[in-house]
């Protein structure tokens, strides 16, 4: 297992999500950047739904207590083992008492640490993703222990011949489809929505991202209706809210757009002040 010596800014255990529970108001949750988390798993031969550690903005300091193989993908936080910088997107052997730490954030916003066969955090409603109150905590804390199976590595069999796509980190274009209420927008509001250069506001989290600036809108609230990760809501004040992995299951604001899965991943690697452009796709 791993011992958390320092938890970092916001570090949690996530898998591919918790499904079949939305009727009871339970969010899907799961890794914000599904591409990077599944890439880290693929590099060391895991199934894509193996639980990983999601690391946000600043990394934790972790003590290895059992041998395993790790891979780190997503944001570049200059990972180190015993103060020696290690490569990302490859399998790396770790031994008991190794210290895994992270440096300055160089690119992106969320990084993913995979261990061979996945982290074995407690199952709750069919998933391991941390989301309070489904799980006891939202994030890992100092002195926490995270379980995994011991694994003596054979790196020749574990190194995957795959290349990480930096588009997830570098792109600032988010592709969208029309949402259920898009056609109710006035034509000038539709044009503004597509042509505006947006930036991420300081209000961004696993639940939702808000964008700047405000838009003109002719829409009022709607009857509470289903929403999904990637749904873009437009409030009567003109605020765009993009729902993310921990979002609620229903909402009362017009659903003007819906992000593609790739665009959810791209957005999850952005933070306050990053620029974004919306591109409308046809079905």
What are the DSSP calls for 18-51, one per residue? --S-GGGT------SSHHHHHHHHHHTT--TTS-
- Calpha distance 248→221 (Å, rounded): 16
The neighbour count for residue 228, using CB atoms within 10 Å, is 14
Say if residue 136 is in the same domain as residue 158. yes
Say if residue 220 is in the same domain as residue 156. no
Of 282, 187, 179, 283, the closest CA to residue 240 belongs to: 179
Q: What is the pLDDT of residue 152?
A: 86
Say if residue 128 is in the same domain as residue 46. yes
Say if residue 137 is in the same domain as residue 9. yes
Q: What is the pLDDT of residue 283?
A: 60
Among 130, 164, 198, give the residue marking a domain's end: 164
- Look up the CATH number of the domain holding residue 208: 2.40.100.10
Among 136, 164, 192, give the residue marking a domain's end: 164
Residue 276 domain boundaries: 171-280
- Calpha distance 109→92 (Å, rounded): 22
Say if residue 155 is in the same domain as residue 191. no
Q: How many domains does the chain fold into? A: 2
- Calpha distance 16→30 (Å, rounded): 5
Say if residue 68 is in the same domain as residue 89. yes
Decide: 48 and 112 in contact? Cβ < 8 Å.
no
Say if residue 42 is in the same domain as residue 155. yes
Among 164, 183, 203, give the residue marking a domain's end: 164
Say if residue 160 is in the same domain as residue 177. no
Q: What is the pLDDT of residue 23?
A: 86
- pLDDT tens track of the chain, all 283 residues? 899 999 999 999 999 999 988 888 999 999 999 999 999 999 999 999 999 999 999 999 999 999 999 999 999 999 999 999 999 999 999 999 999 999 999 999 999 999 999 999 999 999 999 999 999 999 999 999 999 999 987 665 544 567 898 999 999 999 999 999 999 999 999 999 999 999 999 999 999 999 999 999 999 999 999 999 999 999 999 999 999 999 999 999 999 999 999 999 999 999 999 999 999 987 6
Say if residue 155 is in the same domain as residue 99. yes
Q: What is the pLDDT of residue 154?
A: 65
């Amino acid at each position: 297992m791993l011992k958390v010596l320092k938890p970092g800014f916001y570090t949690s255990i996530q898998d591919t999500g918790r499904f079949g529970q939305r009727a009871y108001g339970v969010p899907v949750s799961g890794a914000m950047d599904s591409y990077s988390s599944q890439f880290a798993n693929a590099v060391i031969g895991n199934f894509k739904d193996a639980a990983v550690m999601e690391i946000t903005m600043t990394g934790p300091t972790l003590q290895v207590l059992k041998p395993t193989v790790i891979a780190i993908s997503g944001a570049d936080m200059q990972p180190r083992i015993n103060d020696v910088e290690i490569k990302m997107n490859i399998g790396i052997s770790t031994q008991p008492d190794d210290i895994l730490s992270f440096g300055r954030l160089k690119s992106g916003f969320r990084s993913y640490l995979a261990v061979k066969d996945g982290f074995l955090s407690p199952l709750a409603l069919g998933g391991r993703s941390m989301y309070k109150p489904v799980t006891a905590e939202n994030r890992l804390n100092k002195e926490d222990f995270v379980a995994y199976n011991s694994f003596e590595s054979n790196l020749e069999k574990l190194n995957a011949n795959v290349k990480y796509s930096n588009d997830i980190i570098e792109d600032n274009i988010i592709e969208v489809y029309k949402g259920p209420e898009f056609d109710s927008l006035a034509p000038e509001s539709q044009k503004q929505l597509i042509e505006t250069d947006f930036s991420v506001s300081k209000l961004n989290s696993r639940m939702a991202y808000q964008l700047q600036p405000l838009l003109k809108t002719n829409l009022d609230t709607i009857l509470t209706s289903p929403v999904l990760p990637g749904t873009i809501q437009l409030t009567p004040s003109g605020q765009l809210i993009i729902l993310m992995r921990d979002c609620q299951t229903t909402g009362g604001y017009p659903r003007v757009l819906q992000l593609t899965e790739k665009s959810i991943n791209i957005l999850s690697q952005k933070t306050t002040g990053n620029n974004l452009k919306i591109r409308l796709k046809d079905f």
